[in-house]
A and B are shown apart, each in its own frame.
Chain A
């Protein structure tokens, strides 16, 4: 299984978490993901994901004038998005501990 395949789903949760920190626009979000180490996927992938999250009403966007010039779309979480993020964190913690225990068992053998 490739990293990209493993990432599916997980990346959604991470995007929610980053948007939760503060209102953010596309490029900033892509850069943040890259800084956190998600550099194996192409930056543009976030846009279809953001579009879907917007349709599912997890995020909303507002157009704001940036200091430099063009209007930018800033994303923020809806209450439904916050709820989804909490669910994700729960699921992730469970998954993480399960995977860790499996791998620990594997190492000890």
Chain B
């Protein structure tokens, strides 16, 4: 009995899922309520009732009512945030160790952690806003654009501050850099196996492999830098495009 749900009901269920997920609710509980509501909506629609008969006039209010009764998944949250912060550090460590000896200033480490924590918060806030208010596509894109602009600006600001302000710095010599790189790589590999996606490693190879390969050529440094950046961004864009298409197909 897989009666088709109306577009409106499907839309609402998607919205609710996004809302609850960006609110950090327990994934198991989210699946539970979505299943229950989807069953309810199917039966109601087969008897000619509309979504509004079920959820009332304000989806936003209804979503908030449900969210209020659900538990936060603290453990999953902490795991998630720690993994992301470590992941960002791994990227930074590996891409820098390719360039030579690794060094990290206090400002750099603290700034990176703060920026990533802020950006995670911003992403969740943004998704929750979108789920609750269902803005137009144009507004949604504007939001994503602003988000990328702000994150870009924050990273640039960090680099500039780091260059101008002295702070305690940890530096590694050649062998040290290699050991740290191997540990970091093992960590990323572990994350990939644990999360069963290769996205992290694919991004990483787009980031680092062009650098390594181009260094072996006799191209001049400016051509090398612009070519490597183009390959990195282009590669990631193509990868996202392919994944997106695959997801839509299934």
Contacts of A92 in B (CB 8 A): none
Interface size on A, residues (CB 8 A): 20
| Min CB gap A31→B, angstroms | 9
Among A27, A42, A43, A44, find the residue whose CB has the most chain B CB atoms closer than 10 A.
A44
A72 and B39 within 8 A (CB): yes
Taken together as a complex, chains A and B put the C-alpha atoms of A27 and B41 apart, in Å, by: 9
A20 at the interface (CB under 8 A from B): no
A69 and B36 within 8 A (CB): no
| 15 additional contacts (CB under 8 A) given A27-B40, A27-B44, A44-B56 | A26-B36, A27-B39, A41-B56, A42-B54, A42-B62, A43-B40, A43-B44, A43-B54, A44-B37, A44-B62, A47-B37, A48-B69, A51-B70, A68-B1, A73-B35
CB-CB contacts below 8 Å: B104-137 with A = none
Contacts of B202 in A (CB 8 A): none
Taken together as a complex, chains A and B put the C-alpha atoms of A51 and B68 apart, in Å, by: 10
A11 at the interface (CB under 8 A from B): no
| Min CB gap B45→A, angstroms | 11
B44 and A48 within 8 A (CB): no
Q: Which 3 A-B pairs have the closest CB atoms?
A: A42-B56, A51-B69, A68-B1
Interface size on B, residues (CB 8 A): 23
B36 and A73 within 8 A (CB): yes
B65 CB contact (under 8 Å) in A30, A43, A48, A69: A48
B53 at the interface (CB under 8 A from A): yes
CB-CB contacts below 8 Å: A8-50 with B = 25-27, 30, 41-45, 47-48
A55 at the interface (CB under 8 A from B): yes
With A26-B36, A70-B1: A47-B43 Cβ-Cβ less than 8 Å: no
Taken together as a complex, chains A and B put the C-alpha atoms of A45 and B52 apart, in Å, by: 11
Contacts of A71 in B (CB 8 A): 35
* Cβ-closest chain B residue relative to A29: B40
CB-CB contacts below 8 Å: B35-64 with A = 35-37, 39-40, 43-44, 49, 52-56, 62
